[in-house]
């Protein structure tokens, strides 16, 4: 019997790394001279997988968001995993912006991956399973080629590999 190998493509974010990046961004924003008196606040909501930024002006919110994005990049979190909401004006001069974190592959995203792999004509099979795409093949080299193909493609969402067997 021929042995087959498999792995899963998933779209997931390490929430502990996001929490660390938010804490680092809070510290930097507190000590930045250009953000003094802006009443800026960054709040990470782990259960909702979202980040809320509040400040006393749009330019302060964008500055805090830029700090946060840099900290996320340093922590190895892709910017493609962030869905930025519109900047909302609250009472007075207060402004907020909500950023949600993508988690799980949607059906359309999973179809993009499967069509990309099928168009490459590699000797692997793909199967959509809930929020991930399982790839199986008889050769480890074909699986490695699939990983490099999908990671190198501009899909518009982050792709991680797990359960490599």
Mean predicted lDDT score pLDDT of the chain: 86
Q: What is the pLDDT of residues 55-105, one digit of tens each?
A: 988 888 999 999 999 999 999 888 888 889 998 888 888 899 999 998 888
Q: What CA–CA distances, in Å, run from 52 to 24, 41, 110, 135?
A: 15, 8, 28, 36
Question: How much is the average pLDDT of 16-44?
Answer: 90
Q: What CA–CA distances, in Å, run from 22 to 28, 72, 74, 77?
A: 10, 8, 12, 12
pTM: 0.79
Contact by Cβ (8 Å): 126, 118: yes
Tokens of 64: 């805090």
CA distance 110 to 91: 42
Label residue 1 by pLDDT band (50, 70, 90).
very low
Give the pLDDT score at 64. 92
Domain architecture of the chain: domains with CATH:
5-12+104-162 (3.30.70.860), 15-101 (3.30.70.990)
3-state class (DSSP) for residue 81: helix
């Amino acid at each position: 019997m021929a042995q087959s190998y498999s792995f899963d493509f998933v779209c997931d974010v390490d929430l502990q790394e996001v929490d660390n990046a938010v804490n680092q961004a809070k510290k930097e924003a507190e000590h930045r001279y250009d953000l003094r008196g802006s009443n800026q606040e960054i709040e990470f909501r782990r259960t909702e997988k979202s980040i809320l930024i509040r400040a006393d002006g749009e330019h302060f919110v964008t500055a805090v968001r830029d700090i946060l994005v840099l900290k996320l990049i340093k922590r190895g979190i892709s910017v493609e995993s962030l869905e930025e909401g519109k900047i909302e004006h609250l009472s007075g001069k207060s402004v907020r912006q909500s950023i949600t974190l993508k988690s799980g592959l949607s059906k359309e995203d999973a179809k993009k991956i499967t069509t990309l792999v099928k168009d490459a004509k590699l000797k692997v099979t793909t199967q959509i399973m809930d929020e991930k795409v399982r790839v199986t093949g008889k050769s480890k080299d074909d699986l490695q080629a699939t990983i490099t193909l999908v990671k190198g493609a501009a899909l518009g969402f982050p792709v991680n590999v797990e359960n490599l067997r």
